[in-house]
C-alpha cells in the first residue's frame, strides 16, 4: 500500500493566508443569503481531490501547454482546512468536515472531537466526545435519495470512510469496511476488494467474514472487472477492481480497470434513476500519494484524471438542470513549487516523455536495468553519476522522489515537503442558478464545514436534527430499565445484548441490524463502539418497551 498516514504537523507556510480575514473566524453559521428562490437542487456531486493544491493545477495546465482545464471555468474561491487539533489536517479530519459539517480531531472518522486545541471550533457537549456524526449520505438515504461513492484508493482509506463509517482511528480497516458494507450506500466503485474477504494478505479480514456474501445477500451486484461494470443493468452495485488501490490513470490497463471518469459516469447514470435525487462523492485519491512521494508525473496523471471526471459531472449537471457540482480538496500535499524560467515548450517536451508514474514502473525496474527503464519510460538517458547513484539508493527504499527530482531539476519543479501543507485549497463549483458555496457563506474564503452546510442548504437535507436522534448513547437502554452487556464470544464480532422483561435485543457492532427475540430488523443507523462506548440508532432504543 502506497498511502502514508500523516500524524505530524507540516511547517510549510500558509501560502494563501494573506487572503483570509484577520481574526480567522468562520465565515458562515448556517444562515442563508438573499439568493434567488430557485437555488434548490435535487442532486449533488461532491468531488474530493485528495492532496490537490492550486500549484498542482498550475503544473497540470502547463503540461497541456497552458491550455485551460475543465475545472478552470468553475473556480469559485478558497477553502480553509484546519482540524480541531492542528493547523495542518489529515484526510480523515479534512474529509469528515465535508461529510458531516463539523471540524473533528485529526486521524478520526466522522465523530465529534475529544480534543480541541484550535480556535473558532465549537465546544462539544458533556458526554458527546467521540459521538458518531450523521453524514450527508445518511441524510440523503433517510430522505429517499440514492447515494454513491467513487474513488481510486482502497475503500477503507480516509476519505471514502468518512462518508460511510465512524471510527476513533482511520486505521481500523476491518471495522470501517464492515460499516461501509452495512451503510446502505447504493453504488460504490473503486479499489480494495481484499478488505472484504478473509485471507493471508495484510489487507484481508481477520474475523473470517466474507463481506461479499453479505453484499449479495442484501441485493447488491458485486463486480471486480471493468467489463462486468459496463454491462451492469442494476442500480445497486459494488465494484472493486483491485485488491488494494487502483492504478494511476497513466498506468492502468483500460481493458481491465475503469478510469475515474468512467466510474463517475456509471455512478451518475445509475443514481440518477431515482426520481428523488442523489448525493455522490467522487474522490481523486492519489494526487495526495504522489504529492507525498514528490512525483510530478503522478500528480499530473491524477489531476488530469480528476478533470475528466469533473467534466462528466458538469456535462450531466448542465443537461439535467437540477444538479450542483462541487470540488474541494481535503488538504494540499507536497508543497509543489514551479520556478521555471524557460518556455512552456521546454516543460512539455520533458513531461511528454513520461509514459508512466513512478508507481507504474515498480514491478519492472531494478539495479541492472534502471538506465534502460528510465530512458524508455521517461526519456531520462545519459544520467550523471550523481543521478545514477541516487537511483540505486532509491531502489533500496523509495524511488519515486528520486525520479521526481531528476525530472524536476530539468524544468524547475521542486517540492518543499513530503507531508501535508496547511495552505487554503481551491473551490470549484457549478449550480444551475449560479448559487455557489461562496454565495452561501458570503465570503470568497470559506471553511470546509461551510461546504457541507451549503449542500444541506441547496438540497433541503438537515443534519442538525439528525445529530440528536440518529446516534444515541447505549445508556438510553439502561434509562429504560434494561440490562446491557457485550457478548464477546466472537472477539472480532462483538454483539450488544439488551434484556428487559422477557425481551432480548441483539445489536451486532458495525452493522445496521437488530435482532429482537429472533426477528431481524433493519435500523436507520449503524451500531458502533468508539473507545469502549456504545452508540446506537434511536430506533434501536425504541424497540425496547
Per residue in 346-375, pLDDT tens?
889 999 999 999 999 999 999 999 999 999
Per residue in 513-542, pLDDT tens?
999 999 999 999 999 999 999 999 999 999
Place of cell 465549537: 122
Contact partners, residue 202, CB within 8 Å, separation at least 6: none
The answer to the question of whether 331 is labelled as a binding residue is: yes
Instruction: Name the 3-class secondary structure at 468.
Output: coil
Residue 281 forms beta bridges with which residues?
46, 149
Place of cell 468508539: 530
pLDDT value of residue 491: 87
Rounded CA-CA distance 81/381 in Å is 41
Active site residue: 53, 86, 91, 177, which one? 91
pLDDT value of residue 344: 86
The answer to the question of whether 283 is labelled as a binding residue is: yes
Q: What are the strands, taking DSSP E only, across 29-160?
A: 43-49, 75-80, 146-154
Rounded CA-CA distance 52/74 in Å is 16
The answer to the question of whether 157 is labelled as a binding residue is: yes
CA dihedral 161, 162, 164, 169 (to 10 degrees): 60
Place of cell 524544468: 411
The answer to the question of whether 251 is labelled as a binding residue is: no
Torsion region of 334: left, alpha or beta (phi above 0 gives left; psi -120 to 50 gives alpha): left
What is the pTM assigned to this prediction? 0.93
The answer to the question of whether 50 is labelled as a binding residue is: yes
> What's the burial of 377, exposed, middle or buried (CB within 10 Å: 0-12/13-18/19+)?
buried
**175 in active site:** no
The answer to the question of whether 34 is labelled as a binding residue is: no
DSSP letter at 428? Answer: E
The answer to the question of whether 202 is labelled as a binding residue is: no
Report yes or no: 332 and 291 within 8 Å, Cβ to Cβ. Answer: yes
pLDDT value of residue 37: 59
pLDDT along the chain (545 residues), means of 10: 40 35 36 59 98 98 95 98 97 98 98 95 94 98 98 98 98 96 98 97 94 98 98 97 98 97 98 98 98 98 98 98 98 95 86 95 96 96 95 96 96 96 98 97 98 98 94 96 95 94 96 96 97 96 95
pLDDT value of residue 6: 37
Residue 505 forms beta bridges with which residues?
498, 516
Per residue in 396-443, pLDDT tens?
999 999 999 999 999 999 999 999 999 999 999 999 999 999 999 999
Rounded CA-CA distance 304/534 in Å is 43
Domain boundaries, the chain: 51-280+288-337+418-443, 345-411, 472-543
In sign, the C-alpha dihedral spanning 250, 358, 293, 344 is negative
Q: Nearest to residue 495, comparing CAs of 520, 515, 471?
A: 515
The answer to the question of whether 418 is labelled as a binding residue is: no
pLDDT value of residue 12: 36
Computed over every residue of the chain, the mean pLDDT equals 93
Q: Nearest to residue 82, comparing CAs of 41, 25, 165?
A: 25
Amino acid at each position: 500500500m502506497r498511502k502514508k498516514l500523516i500524524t505530524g504537523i507540516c511547517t510549510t507556510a500558509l501560502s494563501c493566508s494573506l487572503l483570509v480575514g484577520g481574526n480567522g473566524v468562520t465565515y458562515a453559521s448556517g444562515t442563508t443569503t438573499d439568493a434567488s428562490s430557485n437555488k434548490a437542487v435535487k442532486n449533488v456531486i461532491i468531488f474530493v481531490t485528495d492532496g490537490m493544491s492550486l500549484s498542482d493545477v498550475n503544473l497540470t495546465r502547463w503540461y497541456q501547454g497552458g491550455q485551460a482545464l475543465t475545472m478552470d471555468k468553475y473556480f469559485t474561491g478558497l477553502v480553509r482546512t484546519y482540524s480541531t487539533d492542528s493547523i495542518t489536517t489529515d484526510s480523515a479530519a479534512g474529509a469528515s468536515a465535508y461529510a458531516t459539517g463539523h471540524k473533528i480531531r485529526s486521524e478520526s472518522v466522522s465523530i465529534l472531537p475529544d480534543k480541541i486545541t484550535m480556535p473558532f471550533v465549537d465546544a462539544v457537549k458533556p458526554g458527546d466526545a467521540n459521538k458518531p456524526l450523521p453524514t450527508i449520505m445518511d441524510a440523503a438515504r433517510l430522505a429517499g435519495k440514492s447515494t454513491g461513492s467513487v474513488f481510486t484508493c482502497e475503500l477503507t482509506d480516509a476519505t471514502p470512510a468518512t462518508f460511510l463509517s465512524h471510527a476513533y482511528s482511520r486505521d481500523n480497516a476491518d471495522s470501517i469496511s464492515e460499516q461501509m458494507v452495512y451503510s446502505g450506500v447504493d453504488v460504490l466503485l473503486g479499489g480494495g476488494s481484499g478488505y472484504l474477504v478473509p485471507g493471508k494478505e495484510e489487507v484481508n479480514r481477520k474475523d473470517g467474514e466474507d463481506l461479499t456474501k453479505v453484499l449479495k445477500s442484501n441485493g447488491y451486484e458485486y463486480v471486480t472487472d471493468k467489463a462486468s461494470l459496463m454491462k451492469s443493468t442494476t442500480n445497486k452495485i459494488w465494484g472493486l477492481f483491485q485488491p488494494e488501490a487502483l492504478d494511476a490513470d497513466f498506468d492502468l490497463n483500460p481493458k481491465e480497470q475503469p478510469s475515474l471518469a468512467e466510474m463517475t459516469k456509471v455512478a451518475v447514470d445509475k443514481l440518477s434513476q431515482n426520481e428523488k435525487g442523489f448525493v455522490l462523492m467522487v474522490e481523486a485519491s492519489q494526487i495526495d500519494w504522489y504529492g507525498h512521494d514528490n512525483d510530478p508525473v503522478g500528480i499530473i496523471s491524477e489531476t488530469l484524471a480528476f478533470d475528466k471526471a469533473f467534466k462528466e459531472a458538469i456535462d450531466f449537471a448542465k443537461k439535467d438542470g437540477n444538479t450542483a457540482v462541487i470540488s474541494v480538496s481535503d488538504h494540499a500535499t507536497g508543497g509543489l513549487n514551479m520556478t521555471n524560467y524557460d518556455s512552456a515548450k521546454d516543460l512539455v517536451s520533458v513531461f511528454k516523455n513520461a509514459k508512466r508514474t513512478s508507481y507504474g514502473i515498480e514491478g519492472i525496474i531494478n539495479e541492472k536495468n534502471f538506465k534502460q527503464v528510465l530512458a524508455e519510460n521517461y526519456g531520462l538517458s545519459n544520467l550523471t553519476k550523481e543521478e545514477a547513484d541516487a537511483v540505486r539508493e532509491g531502489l533500496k527504499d523509495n524511488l519515486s522522489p528520486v525520479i521526481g527530482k531528476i525530472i524536476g531539476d530539468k524544468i524547475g519543479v521542486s517540492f518543499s515537503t513530503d507531508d501535508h501543507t496547511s495552505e487554503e485549497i481551491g473551490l470549484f463549483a457549478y449550480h444551475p442558478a449560479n448559487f455557489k458555496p461562496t454565495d452561501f457563506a458570503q465570503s470568497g474564503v470559506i471553511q470546509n464545514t461551510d461546504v457541507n452546510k451549503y449542500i444541506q442548504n441547496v438540497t433541503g437535507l438537515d443534519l442538525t436534527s439528525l445529530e440528536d436522534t440518529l446516534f444515541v448513547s447505549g445508556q438510553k437502554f439502561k434509562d429504560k430499565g434494561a440490562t446491557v452487556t457485550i457478548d464477546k464470544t466472537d472477539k472480532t464480532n462483538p454483539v450488544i445484548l439488551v434484556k428487559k422483561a422477557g425481551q432480548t435485543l441483539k445489536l451486532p457492532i458495525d452493522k445496521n441490524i437488530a435482532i429482537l427475540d429472533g426477528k431481524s430488523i433493519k435500523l436507520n443507523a449503524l451500531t458502533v463502539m468508539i473507545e469502549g462506548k456504545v452508540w446506537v440508532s434511536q430506533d434501536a432504543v425504541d424497540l425496547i418497551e
